[in-house]
Amino acid sequence: DKSNRYDLRSSLTARDRVGVQDFVLLENFTSEAAFIENLRKRFKENLIYTYIGSVLVSVNPYKDLEIYNKNHMQRYRGVNFYEVSPHIYAVGDNSYRSMRTERKDQCILISGESGAGKTEASKKILQYYAVTCPASEQVQTVKDRLLQSNPVLEAFGNAKTLRNDNSSRFGKYMDIQFDFKGAPVGGHIINYLLEKSRVVHQNHGERNFHIFYQLIEGGEEDLLRGLGLERNPQQYQYLVKGNCPKVSSINDRTDWKTVRKALTVIGFDEDEELLNIIASVLHLGNVQYGGEDGVACITSDTQIKYLARLLGVNGTVLTEALTHKKIIAKGEEVCVPLNLEQASSARDALSKAVYGRTFTWLVNKINASLTYTDDSCKHYSVIGLLDIYGFEVFQHNSFEQFCINYCNEKLQQLFIELTLKSEQEEYEAEGITWEPVQYFNNKIICDLVEEKFKGIISILDEECLRPGDASDLTFLEKLEDTVGGHPHFVTHKLADTKTRKVMSREEFRLLHYAGEVNYNVNGFLDKNNDLLFRNLKELSGCYLSFLLRPHRLHHLLNHLPPPSVSAPPQAATQFKASLAKLMEILMSKEPSYVRCMKPNDSKQAGRFDEVLIRHQVKYLGLMENLRVRRAGFAYRRRYELFLQRYKSLCPDTWANWQGKAFDGVATLVKHLGYKPEEYKLGRSKIFIRFPKTLFATEEGLETRKHGLGERRRRPVAVQAWWRGILARRRARRRRQAADTIRRFVKGFIHRHRERCPENEYFLDYVRYSFLMNLRRNLPKNVLDKSWPTPPAALSEASELLRKLCMQNMVWSYCKKINSEWKHQMEQKMVASELFKDKKDNYPQSVSKLFVNTRLNGEDINPKVVQALGSEKMKYAVPVTKYDRKGYKARPRQLLLTANSAVIVEEAKLKQRIEYATLRGQRSTDWGGCVMFWVLQSCFFLNWPSGKEGTIDFTPGSELLVAKAKNGHLSVVSPPTFLRPARVYAP
Ligand SMILES: Nc1ncnc2c1ncn2[C@@H]1O[C@H](COP(=O)(O)OP(=O)(O)OP(=O)(O)O)[C@@H](O)[C@H]1O
């Protein structure tokens, strides 16, 4: 993984870095022109993705780019958001990882106008999960079904429009459920506001839902014959309105095969009935009316025959239902014929209702096949994908645009709720100083639309339900009366002259957060009513018989027109309720945003229409988004969580931090080298300003985890085993210690008794410690009288030992006495007799040995040798030589060594010199009477007898022997040289 990451980083070429990858890094981040220029620059290089913090902005390339293969998927796996070039896979991966690590449900909200690439983006995320998430055999089935749900839903819910050849004509929210291992195990889809009007009418250049064309183009001959269909779309009124049955970018025949296969994967076994209904809708469209006096009658019964067969209804009842309506007059039910226009409306209403319910039923079937049935996995995490129509602003905007734009207001409200507002509130709550960002809170517009009693939807419902001649125009008047003063509402009547010029009298204008939109009220009431003529519902028992079988789709009953007394919820109200539910779902999750844009209106690759882009930048609220990102902090986490996650990165916080979490985090970030401008510490959370700071930390963690993980996995078993051994060892030691203490105490109590089991441990211990003590403190010499005090039990043995020791010392002492020593002793004895109590310095002289010279009869001034103990003094060495008998002494030499000063006979000296290696100076000139050699550690003076002289010793760094001016012999010597430590006194 790591090497992969480096590969990837190095693959971030100069091209990848065109402009900025994240708008947050734009120098001039408040300039819309700079924003668009960055988009343009990147788009020209086929870099269609750019971030605003964690929001992904995507521009539809209208061509296949080589950035969606498996290699790419693998590269984005587990890689931090900012390490690689922006991509839809990074968003998918980020949500997936957050879900896994933080155990929080996620949602990815994909918005943008028709053709901007929302559906493609959601499919890419789904494919990413299908490829990269772990899978078992069962999971593979779920993955397949999740993927295959797309072609089915697209066949029934998508159509070619002017803006998009494959436009989703419904909103879709899809939950992907993951088990604890992170494998996708199920899913659930909620659909919103299918554009049913397309079944009966299409604008020029547009088509009906794909499935009709697929069936006619791709259906096998037998199948078509059975359904009473011809292989020619031109034959069907519902397929010719847009005058565009064939589209070059669409291959209906292959798509048909794909859909059939997908239906099999999903486990769909009612496709025969499904196709019957699709064919019925086409036959219904071909029901033609004629008639006189305004009374409608069906001109040909061919369609009725087919319909009766395909739907299993009675032909006469169907004919009656398509040409009459029931009304209650004076308490009685009366059957009233319809005029031509009314009959056509009834027919179209039936077609729309049939198709709409079939679509809902299909979604339910898909959901049933995606339901995860394993009971052992009750707790799964969820990633929701919302692919919903973006803001729509056309030349003529109607009820559908009103609903769609209302939905977008709600989503913007959610965005504000989840990011902008809560962000600022959080900073305040955490005590973090932050300049508040001014943003437009669109709640005021949401309220204008949805408020109870006073909102536009309530007023519309009221008009639909009130008795009397309610019409689209009376609805408009009602609006003027009720919300006329609202700052975001204008009508022709209320507008200033300038606005009046661009508004018709049938329009009202809403000032949406993204811009102004004029809505034409024509058809508002009908579309909101969405009702079948009351008597058509009687058909329901048969024409939708298979749908109504309880075990199949019992809930469809709820969607059927209710009995005449209680009115069904109106379309807008239903939509409002389902949006409220959606908001609730999204609110409980952590959102990620993908903002899709289309670069031009002609579906062309490489064309970047700045006007169109500017428009989208505005109504996607991107500049607002960027402003907030730049002012705020990119990331925040509770101290406990932050510390828990990153503690291993600092030796002070690893493995456990004992103090407060706040202090731990402070220590940690200090260790990580965060700069003051990069973060702030709030009351309970750390706030990190730039994503890159966090990602550097994340990377550190990854590296560390890699190391730790390796080490941790292998030794777990060893650790457990070793811990067991240590614990047992500690327990054994504790037991032994307690036992020892117990025996010691008992022994102490019985210490004066004879040796017995109670005190034997104690006595042994005492004996042992006495002997050890004695060994360390034996007397040093025969004169030393010290002896450790024995314990009572050992006094006798101690005395015996003491005597033995003394005898031993005396014996060794005696052994050392040689004849010379013996002689000394005798001398000392003589001296004692002579000087004891007579000479003051006698006591000090006792321990001093007589030097040989003296013993040899030499007469050396005692001062000489004594003084040799100090180097700083001046020493006189008077050497007058006589032997005892008065003969001239044999030539003598003064030998000064490190320890002694002795006069030796020349002959003996020569002998010594032979042993020594002569290294040093030799001088013969000291008043003509001195000969000396300087050896490494001593020097010799050749001293003629009867001569007197003075030697001056001075410490110095180098040995130097010379005749001084005053006639003395000057010896400069290093401190270690010629420093007699012990001398023999003469
Ligand atoms: N990432 C992409 N790479 C290549 N082509 C793309 C990409 N995204 C979108 N397109 C092209 O743009 C067309 C429209 O995209 P898509 O159907 O996803 O738009 P949409 O936003 O879902 O529109 P609608 O709201 O009408 O459903 C696609 O059919 C495809 O041809």
Q: Taking residues 301-313, what's their average pLDDT?
A: 88
Q: How far apart are CA 157 and CA 208, in angstroms?
A: 10
119 marked among binding-site residues = yes
Helices 472-483 and 456-465: crossing angle in degrees, nearest 10, is: 140
Which of the two residues, 843 and 151, has the higher pLDDT score? 151
What was the pLDDT predicted at 952?
Answer: 66
Least confident of 433-437, 441-445, 535-539: 535-539
Nearest CA to ligand 1 atom 18: 117
User: What confidence category does residue 93 fall into, taking pLDDT thresholds of 50, 70 and 90?
Assistant: very high
Find, among 807, 780, 806, 777, the residue nearest to 789 by Cα: 777
Q: How far apart are CA 296 and CA 291, in angstroms?
A: 5
What was the pLDDT predicted at 715?
Answer: 57
Which of the two residues, 329 and 463, has the higher pLDDT score? 463
Which of the two residues, 898 and 792, has the higher pLDDT score? 792
Q: Any catalytic annotation for residue 164? A: yes
Per residue in 37-80, pLDDT (tens digit) is 999 999 999 999 999 878 999 999 999 999 999 999 998 988 76
**% of the chain at pLDDT higher than 70:** 77
Q: How far apart are CA 481 and CA 512, in angstroms?
A: 20
pTM beyond 0.80, yes or no: no
Query: 507 pLDDT exceeds 90?
Result: yes
Query: 803 pLDDT exceeds 80?
Result: yes
Per residue in 178-217, pLDDT (tens digit) is 988 899 999 999 999 898 889 999 989 999 999 999 999 9
Query: 317 pLDDT exceeds 90?
Result: no
Helices (H), 373-493: 399-415, 422-430, 443-450, 456-465, 472-483
Give me the chain's average pLDDT, please: 80
Query: 802 pLDDT exceeds 50?
Result: yes
DSSP assigned state of 881: -
Find, among 580, 592, 581, 430, the residue nearest to 104 by Cα: 592
Q: Taking residues 730-756, what's their average pLDDT?
A: 86
Q: Residues of 345-383 as b/e, b for ≥16 C-beta within 10 angstroms? A: ebbbbbbbbbbbbbbbbbbbbbbebbebeeeebeebbbb
Q: How far apart are CA 880 and CA 858, in angstroms?
A: 8
Task: State the DSSP H helix or E strand holding residue 770, giving kind and residue range, or none if neither.
Answer: helix 757-776
Which of the two residues, 904 and 190, has the higher pLDDT score? 190
φ, ψ (nearest 5 deg) of residue 109: -100, 115
Distances (CA, A) of 238 to 283, 484, 656, 692: 9, 40, 71, 56
What was the pLDDT predicted at 391?
Answer: 81
What was the pLDDT predicted at 536?
Answer: 53
Closest ligand 1 atom to 163 CA: 26
Instruction: Provide residues with CB under 6 Å of ligand 1.
Output: 60-65, 112, 114-120, 164, 166-168, 389, 596
Q: What is the DSSP pairing of strand 106-111 with strand 381-387? A: parallel
Helices (H), 300-381: 302-311, 315-323, 340-370
Of 54, 95, 111, 114, which is the active-site residue?
114
Per residue in 699-712, pLDDT (tens digit) is 888 788 777 666 65
Which of the two residues, 481 and 357, has the higher pLDDT score? 481
DSSP string computed for 164-211: -TTEE-SEEEEEEEE-TTS-EEEEEEEEE---THHHH---TT--SBHH
Helices 88-102 and 118-132: crossing angle in degrees, nearest 10, is: 50
What was the pLDDT predicted at 599?
Answer: 97
Q: Taking residues 568-596, what's their average pLDDT?
A: 90
117 marked among binding-site residues = yes
| Helix (H/G/I), strand (E/B), else coil: 760 | helix
Residue appearing with tokens 């499919």: 123
Q: How far apart are CA 266 and CA 142, in angstroms?
A: 9
Residue 480 pairs in a beta bridge with none
Distance linking the first and last C-alpha atoms of the chain: 91
Closest ligand 1 atom to 390 CA: 25
Compute the distance from residue 364 Cα to the ligand 1 centre, in Å: 25
Q: Taking residues 912-926, what's their average pLDDT?
A: 40
Per residue in 341-363, pLDDT (tens digit) is 888 988 888 898 889 888 998 99
Q: Taking residues 236-251, what's their average pLDDT?
A: 92
Of 115, 621, 664, 747, which is the active-site residue?
115
Per residue in 493-505, pLDDT (tens digit) is 999 999 999 999 9
What was the pLDDT predicted at 153?
Answer: 96
Residue 451 exposed, middle or buried by CB count within 10 Å (0-12, 13-18, 19+): middle
98 marked among binding-site residues = no
Which of the two residues, 551 and 691, has the higher pLDDT score? 691
Which of the two residues, 894 and 766, has the higher pLDDT score? 766
Least confident of 34-48, 366-380, 539-553: 539-553
Q: What is the DSSP pairing of strand 55-59 with strand 960-963? A: unpaired
Query: 281 pLDDT exceeds 70?
Result: yes
Q: Any catalytic annotation for residue 58? A: no
User: What confidence category does residue 864 fall into, taking pLDDT thresholds of 50, 70 and 90?
Assistant: very low
Find, among 662, 658, 625, the residue nearest to 640 by Cα: 662
Contact status, residue 544 vs residue 354, Cβ threshold 8 Å? yes
Contact residues for 13 (Cβ-Cβ < 8 A; gap 6+):
none
Contact status, residue 665 vs residue 64, Cβ threshold 8 Å? no
Mutate which of 120, 128, 165, 250 for ligand 1? The one with the most ligand atoms within 8 Å of its CB, which is 120
Query: 636 pLDDT exceeds 70?
Result: yes
What was the pLDDT predicted at 563?
Answer: 39
Per residue in 11-27, pLDDT (tens digit) is 445 556 688 888 877 77
Residue 590 pairs in a beta bridge with 106
Distances (CA, A) of 800 to 474, 790, 867: 133, 12, 46
Q: Any catalytic annotation for residue 390? A: yes
Find, among 84, 705, 707, the residue nearest to 697 by Cα: 705
Contact residues for 781 (Cβ-Cβ < 8 A; gap 6+):
809, 813
